[in-house]
Structure 1
Amino acid sequence: MSDNKVSPTSIGPRRAPVKGVRTGPFQLRFWDGWRLFTLAVALLVLVSLGVVCFSWLTPPAEIWQHLRQTLLARLLLNTLWLVLGVGVLTLVLGVSLAWLTATCEFPGRRFFSWSLLLPLAMPTYVLAFVFVGLLDFAGPVQTLWREWFGRAAWFPPIRSTPGVIIVMSLALYPYVYLLAKNAFQTQGRRAMEAAESLGCGSWEGFFRVALPMARPWIAGGVLLALMEALADFGAVSIFNYETFTTAIYKAWFGFFSLTTAAQLASLLVLLVFILIVVEQRLRARRRFSTARSSAHITRLTLRGWRAWAAAGFAGAVLLIAFGIPVFQLGVWTLSSFAAEFNVRYFALLGRSVALGLGAAVLICSTALVLSYAARRHSDTFTHGLVRVANLGYALPGAVLAVGIFIPMAALDNLLINFGETLFGWRLRPLLQGTVIIMLLAYLVRFLAPGFKPVDGAMHRVTPSIDEAARLSGLRGVALLGRIHLPMLRGGLLTAATIVFVDVMKEMPITLMTRPFGWETLAVKIFELTAEGEWERAALPAVALVVAGLVPIILFMRHSER
């Protein structure tokens, strides 16, 4: 006789497994700690956004009426010109340089292929005060110009709408360049050869075949550049170019009205989401496919004047966007180092590094938990929470500063009233004026760039590894710490590097939520440039530029591998 027995559970219809909950020996509770943590992070983002959007429920104050009558039209017009100008110029620079370095062969192509990314290491406000210092009326360029052509000689003003557009485009074009270059490289030469076989010339093939195929990547790069332009505070402040970010700062610290600041921030959020919707509608009902990238790409060899024109164009952009600013920062630093450098700079550097490291640890830890929660729970609800938690990157820093500060201040007042009512305690504010608010704002703002590398590395860990670890008795935190964490070191290092540099360069959140008397390198640059002290601002700017070069170098090394 056979010893096999029929179990009661093997008879009758089988239940369909609940989506997102594993069956068998490793069943998961719906509301476990991983999903609750994901919900808490998503709620933090939603509360920050909701506080800003629902600020209109309060009656408009007199300050807002004054701004509406005197300033709102100028803010809208300035923002419109900024979006149009930066969008067009970054599109032209990024796409043209990407096409040249990805599909053409000319002198210096390999050097320009990676060096054109270096302007990413230059914060927009650093590039802004360098050009204002060089090209302003009292700067060396205009001084020399008047000596050559007379005092009445006309010179284009740098503090103007074209000036701020050009400078911001030079700092932001690498977003378009990086994505467009990847798109052109994956196309190879097959598409262009097919177009040439149909009678299309080089220019016609570019506009009718290569450019439409690269449209999703180009649109994504332009959207990133425009979001950074709308979120910028330092550069537009240096140019005295009034935008919503400067108006939010003035409403908060000039008029001491958080309600007005929140209402202005809601308009800025609306503009950002309009850009996102427009970009998605432009790509709607379109399907794109790319060829598999190969180790060898046949490039179009440029000869004669075309080759040197391509090299000259790429060299001129790199020189203006990175070479001249770095050289001028070095000159100013050498001239002011002896008088400017003192023990206080160690404190500035220490605070900046501490904020960067603290935010990197917080954000990478949060990203790790979110990625693991999405891995454990494959249901739509959990993945929706993860997407909501990553929405903060679309919100400008000034908006997040308002959206985080208002609920934290309300929570502080609630705790103080609770302590006085029940226990008679006289508590001081526990959250306002502390680093906690800054770190929470950093978490919402930079979780997305920290989450992407970690989640990408998490997807390389096969599910069979999890099952084998569970059979060995590892579950939950032990499984994450002993199995996943060593395998995710590369993704965590990349995420930590990106977040560290982004926090070091972040100005509006740091400036608007810092404790009283706190100064960082970014805050020091703002204070000095507000007084026109370009040479004194060079020393902290050099430190930020050097810090910004770290992720660029790591990215280039990764690309070479």
Structure 2
Amino acid sequence: MLGASLGSSGDLFSHLWQTVLPTYIANTFWLSVWVVLLSLCFGVPAALLVSQTNLWSQKVLRWALLLPLAMPAYLVAYLYTDLFDYAGPVQRTLRAWFGWESARDYWFFDLRTLGGAAFVLALVLFPYVYMLTRTALEQQDKHLLRAGRSLGLSVKQTLWKIALPLARPAIMVAASLVMMETIADFATVQYFAVNTLTTAIYDTWLGYGDMAAANALASVLLLFVLFAVVAEQRSRAGQRHQSGRPNTSPDVYALSVSQQVVANLFCWTLVLLGFGLPFFLLIQMAVDYADLSQLGALAEIGLLTLEVSAIAATVAVLVSLTLALFQRFYPRKTNNLPVQISGFGYAVPGTVLAMALMATFGPLDHWINDAAVAFELSKPGLVLSGTSFAIIFAFVVRFAAISNGTVTAGIAKIPHSVDKAPASLGAGLLHTLRRVHIPLLKNSIIVAWLLVFVEAMKELPAVLLLRPFNFETLSTFIYQLISDEQLEQGAIGAIFIVLFGLIPIIWLNKDKQ
């Protein structure tokens, strides 16, 4: 991609820099900042309430606060815009109640702004902050918190001065994930007409037809990603907070009745706005506008989506298993590099990844066809960049880090003595893996597969740019309907994506009910 950007004449890039590019960069920066801040304001208090207090609905909220992860941000953007726009039911009802005749008679917030985009993205991304912060708080050594209380600190002071600083590494990791997801977002910001570097890349390539300039813009976007990753790592470099054998027995802080009401209202509002209300609106659309004649086309697109996502998830899990087991059975300092390198793709936005793959697969396709002609064979065509291979490859690169983390965590729980016991009985390595390690890793493999599968189903920017002609997935199909203000026609497909997104959440929490 970097090499392809050098082929740009510089005219279009120079024109963009002199006109709109500074605004795109500023929008990207401020959007990321606001989404991270809002996600922290939503996720950190929710994690504290669920993990540190006697919240009334704690058992339900523990998993319910993860539900917004199943809801694509562009769906929430469309549904809320349709609900709160001037012609939407909320403003129509207000005008009927108060006798207002036009927008000049009253003030109402506008979602189609940078602030609206930040709010919508934060609603679906704050579960990253909540999940990692809650886990960090639950794994803290409670002796440290009790020591603070014995020294005269109040409950609030203990949480503010001890618990949250201890959880800071996890919070920073979550903030970096939210920032990278925000930078990678395409459909939400485009629908809200908030021009960012991601939309600039898309418009430069497909609008102006200048792939070299688009690659140059993608290189600029990579600088934002690099900044996010380096800032996150530097922020927690050398930190050692937890004791070797922490006491994680729960120490629950009692809330008063008024505090219980406020805390429950806060948490359930997040669940309602991030998942409950959008899902209800989708069901209402499906009931009111479902057309049985469209189910055939929708089923065909759905089956293709399932096929591509399943292949990508299977390949990603096989790669993760191979690399993680290699690292386990051949423990050398350099043998962890393959796992680390294969996880780099998660930090790369889907639009940038698509540009990189096109810059790579396009010349390779031409080379393959030229080689076929040289050997007097028929041209195979665009076998890499013109088929679903590029999409599957992008999914594996983009989401390998998810699979790596899940499989590696599962392997770390297996005692090293298990590796040696079968060998002492004469079993070979392959036999040991098949009869011992793979069965022990079954849950980790299933979770990794489900996570990659769901993320592949929801991925939009990479598919938009890499898909061949007449190739649709549920995400691109719904995106086209949203662009045409016709989501009602694809509400069933949107519900299908959301329901599949719920599977990993249910699976991860089935043992914690």
Q: Give the TM-score range, shorter chain.
A: over 0.9
Partner residue, 1:510: 463
1:133, 1:534 within 8 Å by CA — same for their partners in 2?
Answer: no
Letter in 2 for 1:100: L
Give, in angstroms, the shift of residue 478 of structure 1: 5.1
Counterparts of 1:199-238 in structure 2, within 5 Å, are: 199-238=152-191
Length, aligned pairs only: 509
Change (3 A) 1:383 1:187: closer
2:339, 2:404 within 8 Å by CA — same for their partners in 1?
Answer: no
Partner residue, 2:84: 135
Counterparts of 1:44-443 in structure 2, within 5 Å, are: 52-149=1-98, 150=100, 151=102, 152=104, 153-187=106-140, 189-289=142-242, 296-338=249-291, 341-423=294-376, 425-443=378-396
Between the aligned partners of 2:379 and 2:504, the Cα distance in structure 1 is 47
Corresponding residue SS for 1:302 = coil
Single out whichever of 320-329 and 534-543 deviates more from structure 2: 534-543
Single out whichever of 284-293 and 550-559 deviates more from structure 2: 284-293
Report the TM-score, using the length of structure 1 for normalisation.
0.86
Change (3 A) 1:190 1:383: closer
1:180, 1:217 within 8 Å by CA — same for their partners in 2?
Answer: yes
Give, in angstroms, the shift of residue 285 of structure 1: 4.1
1:106, 1:308 within 8 Å by CA — same for their partners in 2?
Answer: no
Between the aligned partners of 2:76 and 2:356, the Cα distance in structure 1 is 28
Give, in angstroms, the shift of residue 85 of structure 1: 0.5
Between the aligned partners of 2:508 and 2:34, the Cα distance in structure 1 is 29
Report the TM-score, using the length of structure 2 for normalisation.
0.94
Between the aligned partners of 2:325 and 2:49, the Cα distance in structure 1 is 41
Single out whichever of 233-242 and 185-194 deviates more from structure 2: 185-194
Quick check: which has more Rg, 1 or 2?
A: 1
Letter in 1 for 2:251: T
Counterparts of 1:6-45 in structure 2, within 5 Å, are: none
Give, in angstroms, the shift of residue 55 of structure 1: 3.8
Give, in angstroms, the shift of residue 386 of structure 1: 2.2
Give, in angstroms, the shift of residue 278 of structure 1: 1.2
Between the aligned partners of 1:116 and 1:281, the Cα distance in structure 2 is 29
2:57, 2:264 within 8 Å by CA — same for their partners in 1?
Answer: yes
Letter in 1 for 2:46: L
Between the aligned partners of 2:169 and 2:475, the Cα distance in structure 1 is 34
Letter in 2 for 1:279: E
Give, in angstroms, the shift of residue 119 of structure 1: 0.8
Between the aligned partners of 2:423 and 2:213, the Cα distance in structure 1 is 54
Partner residue, 1:551: 504
Between the aligned partners of 2:366 and 2:431, the Cα distance in structure 1 is 39
Between the aligned partners of 1:483 and 1:188, the Cα distance in structure 2 is 33
Letter in 1 for 2:256: R
Between the aligned partners of 2:421 and 2:143, the Cα distance in structure 1 is 45
Letter in 2 for 1:417: D
1:188, 1:298 within 8 Å by CA — same for their partners in 2?
Answer: no
Between the aligned partners of 1:473 and 1:356, the Cα distance in structure 2 is 39
Between the aligned partners of 2:244 and 2:434, the Cα distance in structure 1 is 38
Partner residue, 1:10: none
Give, in angstroms, the shift of residue 107 of structure 1: 2.3
Between the aligned partners of 1:91 and 1:203, the Cα distance in structure 2 is 18
Give, in angstroms, the shift of residue 236 of structure 1: 1.3
2:141, 2:248 within 8 Å by CA — same for their partners in 1?
Answer: no
Change (3 A) 1:339 1:132: farther
Between the aligned partners of 1:107 and 1:559, the Cα distance in structure 2 is 17
Letter in 2 for 1:113: R
Letter in 1 for 2:29: L
Between the aligned partners of 1:476 and 1:55, the Cα distance in structure 2 is 44
Give, in angstroms, the shift of residue 482 of structure 1: 4.4
Q: Which runs of 5+ in 1 are unaligned?
A: 1-51
Letter in 2 for 1:281: R
Letter in 1 for 2:485: G
Q: Quick one: percent identity of the two aligned structures?
A: 32
Partner residue, 1:484: 437
Give, in angstroms, the shift of residue 407 of structure 1: 0.9
Between the aligned partners of 1:97 and 1:104, the Cα distance in structure 2 is 10
2:354, 2:466 within 8 Å by CA — same for their partners in 1?
Answer: yes
Between the aligned partners of 1:366 and 1:405, the Cα distance in structure 2 is 23
Corresponding residue SS for 2:80 = helix
Corresponding residue SS for 1:300 = coil
Give, in angstroms, the shift of residue 424 of structure 1: 6.0
Letter in 1 for 2:38: L
1:106, 1:303 within 8 Å by CA — same for their partners in 2?
Answer: no
Give, in angstroms, the shift of residue 58 of structure 1: 2.8
Between the aligned partners of 1:313 and 1:322, the Cα distance in structure 2 is 14
1:185, 1:293 within 8 Å by CA — same for their partners in 2?
Answer: no
- 1:394-441 CA-partner distances (Å, limit 9, x unpaired): 111111111112211111101111222332644422222101111111
Q: Which runs of 5+ in 2 are unaligned?
A: none
Root mean square deviation of aligned Cα = 2.1
Corresponding residue SS for 2:44 = helix
Between the aligned partners of 1:419 and 1:235, the Cα distance in structure 2 is 43
Change (3 A) 1:64 1:476: farther
Give, in angstroms, the shift of residue 472 of structure 1: 6.0
Give, in angstroms, the shift of residue 507 of structure 1: 0.6
Give, in angstroms, the shift of residue 284 of structure 1: 2.8
1:186, 1:291 within 8 Å by CA — same for their partners in 2?
Answer: no
Change (3 A) 1:483 1:289: closer
Counterparts of 1:461-476 in structure 2, within 5 Å, are: 461-470=414-423, 475=428
Q: Deviating runs (4+, > 6 A) in structure 1? A: none
Letter in 2 for 1:282: S
Give, in angstroms, the shift of residue 310 of structure 1: 1.0
Give, in angstroms, the shift of residue 92 of structure 1: 1.1
Letter in 2 for 1:57: L
1:187, 1:291 within 8 Å by CA — same for their partners in 2?
Answer: no
